[in-house]
Chains A and B, each alone.
Chain A
Amino acid sequence: MKTFSTSLLLFLQSLYLSAQGSAHVLHVSGQVEYYSQHGAKPVLLSPGMELDMKGKVRCKASSSAKLLSNGKTILVSGSKMRDLQDLAGAKGGESNSGFTNRFLNFVEESVKEGDSDEKLKEHHRQYMNKASGGVKGYASQAYAIRPLLISTGKMPAAPVTFQWRGAQGEGPYTFSIAEPGGSALLQVPVNDTMLTLDLSQVALLPDEEYEWSVTRGSAAKSPAATIMLAPSVVDATKNNTTHQANYKTASPDEQQLMLAYAYEEAGCYQNAYQIYSALHSAQPDNLLLRRVYAAFLARMDMLGEAVKVK
């Protein structure tokens, strides 16, 4: 009996472990990082790789990947660190009923579709949001305040300037930092459309995402902008760049430009901004630096500032 129960336990455990399973990379677009465990060195995904489901993935910029786990595809996108098991779990919620159930569901849906026209006429407003021909603009009217791109992404543990486009109205802005979907960790009333905070002094966890937003009065608000305190990424980017042979042979200005570009590529916009800004301040008449700085500002959706610099 004891042997039987032990075998059963082992069998169930093996079943559980096999259910945890692995995921195969079907396709990768851009650069997607895989962390086999917390603190592990990231590995870039390539098609055909087999991943342990205990790991995490994160996409760089607009990269994405398609994985296959337990017979289902998982699409990974976004710069947020994602747990593979969570992603697979979200997919697992979808129904995977047998053939007979699928057949009965199909017949039931077919019957329901029979009166869909009548339903459409009766409740047409419910369907209006499913078919809209509008082309989306750059900013939603729902948000009167717009955070600037340079105040998002990976941040250094140093003074950082948060900037936003203001809204008409009276009274101060309220700047907040919060956990995604959580309550505010920090709130500061601000008179201007920018605020400089020393992030090394704020109790933010490294490599975790936070959201900042701004409100003014009861009506004007901004969408949540995502930041991550990532001094390790900043340092790694700097190290990678400064160790390149081209960097070593370049002039000091070129070195700074190379570093700024590498920061931008890595999503460390604030660091890139600081370098471009410093270069421009030091040599305001240098046409090349002006143009490069203006191009950066334009990429950061700061066209007004870019035109002035140019």
Chain B
Amino acid sequence: MWRKLVYPHSLIVTCLVFLLIGVLNFVRINAHFLNPFKETIRDYEVTDIVYSKLRDHRIILDNNVVLVNTGKPDRDTIRMVVDRLIDAGAKVVALDVLLEGRKNAHTDSLLRAALTRIEKVVLATELDAYSDEDGKFKMQVGCDTFFGNYVYTGFINFISKDSNSTIRYFSPREMTTDGECLSLPVQAAKLYDPQATERLFERDKKLEEIYYTGNGDQFIQYESKDILSPAIDLKKQIQDKIVLVGFLGTYAWDKPMLDRHYTPLNERYTGRNTPDMYGMVIHANIIQMILNGTYVTELSGFAQFLLTFLFCYLNIHLFYEIFRRVSTPFHFVTRFLQLGEIIILFFIVAWMFRSFRVKLDVAYWIASLALAFDVIKFYDNVIRKRISHLGKIPYQFTPPPRKPQAIKKQEEKPEPEKAAKQEPQLPQDSKK
């Protein structure tokens, strides 16, 4: 069986392609003149197109999370909003607002009293001063101990190389000098549904990719004045839900830039555009992902390698076969195939992500596809001619002995032309 599948020269060329990819990967070009191009495409993944252009734009209303826009609130307003939310029966209240320092003793005391009315209140902090030595954050800032010591806290740091990078990942938990600290959305989700959050921890990943379901329109959004209005009955919408309180611009024409970030949902998936999502909506997407268990799956390095090798090997064998059958239009057919395969690959990647949230990294697949043709030519025209041992290797391993009838048939003297056709031949350079 394996003899039918293993084509020695295809295998050697595949190894050569991998070697070349390894060398190219090792010697990275960092030329200054490439920077504008690099800047444009570096923060791009194929799955961004799925989010940006190919996702189903049908919005499904989320029943677990409600957002409250407080703008830039004073502490009295926060206190009144929290009071109203607790009165309305919110299960978890998470404040994406940094209560830094102490302002007015009276106001702060009332706010703390409101925050401690129920157990499930989460305040935002920021992790700072990371130490490489012990891998811990030395500081948690942004939340005064006057508040933070009495309620749960969660960090709101996003993982981003700079302020212009796309937010793709989040860290569920980090170590600080005071012990383990959960991120704000994870802490909120844990208080709401401990079992769902346990499933997140069981995955045991340092970083999780955020699976975005929408830009905020999937959540009910209140203004703080709506919350404070006695005319509105909040119970129906707020009771037993996670309420995220923070800064949120609601309409496209009036969206301030504060706490806005780039996400894969950005309409323009390459180059620069305006940031498209508020931090609070990103937190809400994370909570939704945890509660629904809709995690993004990435293949292990070994599986990726195996698939890439298989893909490369099959393509090289295909190119050899094409050459054996149609040597004259070989160039044209091969190039056309490469283009077609890239489109099909893109479709598969997009479909896998959209349907199963499985993320395939096909960068090496495409690299191997691009290099395959030239490496075949180089191998046939240069390497095989110089290394005589390679010339002795057959195109395909000799099949095992056949059944007696078949042997009898072979014993019959074949016609010279027929025999030439049956015997496998190594590909030759088309110029010959």
Q: Which of B154-198 contact A (CB under 8 A)?
A: none
A73 with B54: CB separation less than 8 A: no
Q: Is A299 an interface residue (CB 8 A)?
A: no
Check B56 against A73 for contact (C-beta < 8 Å). Answer: no
Is there contact, CB below 8 Å, between B59 and A73?
yes
**Distance (Å) between the CB of B85 and the closest chain A CB?**
13
Cβ of A27 to closest chain B Cβ, rounded Å: 4
- Is A64's beta carbon under 8 Å from chain B? yes
Within 8 Å by CB of A46, from B60, B66, B232, lies B232
Residue in A24, A29, A44, A64 whose CB lies within 8 Å of B61: A24
* B210 touches A (CB below 8 Å): no
Interface flag for A48 (CB, 8 Å): yes
Q: How large is the interface on A (under 10, 10 to 19, 20 to 34, 35 or more residues)?
A: 20 to 34
A-binding segment of B103-111, B214-222, B312-320: B214-222
User: At the interface, yes or no: A127 with Cβ under 8 Å from chain B?
Assistant: no
Known contacts: A99-B54, A107-B343. The answer to whether A73 contacts B231 by CB under 8 A is no
Partner of B54, one of A28, A46, A106: A106
- Of B89-97, B126-134, B257-265, B347-355, which binds chain A? B347-355
- Please name all residues of chain A whose beta carbon is closer than 8 Å to the beta carbon of B57 when the two chains form the complex: 71-72, 96
Q: What residues of B have a CB within 8 angstroms of the CB of A107 in the complex?
A: 343
Is A68 a contact partner of B58 (Cβ separation < 8 A)? Answer: no
Residues of chain A lying within 8 A (CB to CB) of residue B226 = 28, 46-47
A90-112 residues with Cβ-Cβ distance < 8 A to B are: 96, 99, 102-103, 106-107
Tell which of B54, B56, B221, B232 touches A26, judged by Cβ atoms closer than 8 Å: B221
Residues of B close to A73: CB separation below 8 A: 59, 217
Residues in A with CB closer than 8 Å to B54 are 99, 102-103, 106
Task: Report the bound CA distance from A96 to B59 in whole Å.
Answer: 12
Q: Are A103 and B350 in contact (CB under 8 A)?
A: yes
- Let me know if A102 and B58 touch, CB within 8 A: no
- Say how far B172's CB is from chain A's closest CB, in angstroms: 29
CB-defined contacts of A26 to chain B, threshold 8 Å: 217, 219-221
Once the chains bind, are A106 and B49 in contact (CB under 8 Å)? yes
Q: From residue 16 to 66 of chain A, which have CB atoms closer than 8 A to chain B?
A: 24-29, 44, 46-48, 64, 66
Tally of chain B residues near chain A (CB < 8 A): 30
Question: With a CB–CB cut-off of 8 A, which chain A residues contact B49?
Answer: 106
Residues of A within 8 Å of B231, CB to CB, are 44, 46
In the complex where A44-B231, A46-B232 touch, is A27 in contact with B250 (Cβ < 8 A)? Answer: yes
| Shortest CB distance B300–A (Å) | 26
Interface flag for B38 (CB, 8 Å): no
B53 x A29 contact (CB < 8 A):
no
Q: Is the CB of A48 within 8 A of B251?
A: no
Provide the bound-state CA to CA distance between A66 and B251, in Å. Answer: 9
**How far is A192 from B80 in the complex, measured between Cα atoms in Å?**
56
A17 CB, nearest partner CB in chain B, Å: 20
Q: How far apart sit A114 and B231, CA to CA, in the bound complex (Å)? A: 56
In the bound complex, do residue A48 and residue B220 qualify as a contact, i.e. CB atoms below 8 Å apart?
A: yes
Find the B residue at minimum CB distance from A73.
B217
A residues in contact with B229, CB < 8 Å: 46
Docked complex Cα distance between A27 and B61 (Å)? 13
Bound form: Cα–Cα A63–B274 in Å: 25
Interface string of B35-67 (1 = CB under 8 A from A): 000000000000001000110111111000010
Q: Chain B nearest CB: distance from A76 CB in Å? A: 12
Asked whether any CB of chain A lies closer than 8 Å to the CB of B432, the reply is no
Residue in A25, A48, A66 whose CB lies within 8 Å of B250: A66
The answer for the CA separation of A160 and B355 in the assembled complex, in Å, is 63
Establish whether residues B343 and A68, one from each chain, have CB atoms under 8 Å apart when the complex forms.
no
**Chain A residues near B236 (CB-CB < 8 A):** 48
Contacts of B294 in A (CB 8 A): none
Given A48-B237, A99-B355, list of 7 further CB < 8 A pairs?
A47-B237, A48-B236, A66-B250, A68-B59, A71-B59, A72-B58, A102-B54
Which residues of B does A touch, CB under 8 Å? Answer: 49, 53-54, 56-61, 66, 217, 219-223, 226, 229, 231-232, 236-237, 250-251, 343, 347, 350-351, 354-355
For the complex of A and B, list the 3 residue pairs with the smallest distance between their C-beta atoms, beginning with the closest: A71-B58, A48-B237, A27-B221
